[in-house]
Structure 1
Amino acid sequence: MQPTDDPLVTEVGVFVAFEGGEGSGKSTQSHLLATWVESQGKTALLTREPGGTGVGAMLRSIVLDPATGDLSPRTEALIYAADKAEHVDTLILPALADGAVVITDRYVDSTLAYQGAGRALHVGELESLARWATADLRPHLTVVLDVDPRIGLGRAGEPDRIEGEPVEFHERVRQHFLDLAAADPAHYVVLDASESPEAIHDRVVAAVGPWLAQARGVEA
């Protein structure tokens, strides 16, 4: 995967998103990548959706807390969109402008997979909403950590609102992530989340490295 002459390449920071189902190891791999980026003498910003900002943390508590109970799928989608708008405007875009390597645990694809394929909302409408909320900012690279939902859910502790959905819901989510990756191989890499964290990290570094090598302005 070579990012040469790609229109998404900026003269400053690099934007990497981790996507995948529950228990796929996104948080672990995000932290490992941030540590590696820093070891290369570059500035890393590690964040997540929902919850990467103060407002996002409040929205996260609403949308994931089982005590919230049932929400209209449209309401849920709008909460996630609000989180994304605040996240991009106040955190991601400023960090990229400063030359950071921004690493996010979930981004737009999670909305398309969970509220689209999972909740059966119209994916095209959701994408328009999510792209508007994020000013059409797209990651240079999205790393999809693929895991059988039965295995991934078994790794989780007490389930939140989303984790508590039936396995069929999570199977639809998984397939949508794979479909997104297959449609744009220049900006996605799919990794087997059943491998060891160390082996997955090595593959992540191999995929991210070319983007860091090409981008400018990311030195710490």
Structure 2
Amino acid sequence: MNRAKTYDENVHTIAELEELATAQLSPMTRGYYNGGAMELVTLKENKTAFDKYKFRPRVLVDVTHVDTSTTCLGAKSAFPLGIAPSACHGLAHPIAEIGTSRAAAKSGVHMILSCWSNTPSKDVIEEGKGSSIAYGQQVNVLSDEETNLNIIREPEETGYNALFLTVDTRWRGRRINEMKNKFELPEHLSFPSFPWMGEKNTAGSEEFPYGD
């Protein structure tokens, strides 16, 4: 049978992966990962917009040698998709962004690290040494200039290919799931980009000092 190999007999789609993962998370973590602001209107619209992309069928052409790779940020990627920045991987797995980086390098796809990572940027890129992939650092512009520079310096010094600047987060939306579950970062996790933050701060709380 012409069926692709699967890593888990119960997971064949992204929806099934999400369902299985959700069942293994605590209510607080589940609410954080699966939530958005208010009634999730933007979250739903984003999913709908992505679903509009289609694969263009190629028929009656030579497919003896198929190459899905592309070049981005001056480096080769196995296919034209990558790992976008997302916060707090440590909530889902003990090795946090280290595991994500390891998977990116193994799969040959680029990775953008969130400034709300639970792992120092230098440790994340170390997992990709020897691979062809590129790494980027996502940055929120904060009101404290020295903090902004600190977020940038380490990626610059350790070989990151690019910075990705977030400009549409002047103020966080009201994330209902986090409010109901009283979301707090577990004591064993931290934000290396913001060492002055207490362990009990939420991931980008509404009071966080974003820049003017």
Q: Same fold by TM (over 0.5)?
A: no
Give the structure with the larger helix fraction.
Answer: 1
Query: Could you state the TM-score of these two structures normalised by the residue count of structure 2?
Result: 0.33
Query: Could you state the TM-score of these two structures normalised by the residue count of structure 1?
Result: 0.32
**Which of the two has higher C-alpha Rg?**
2
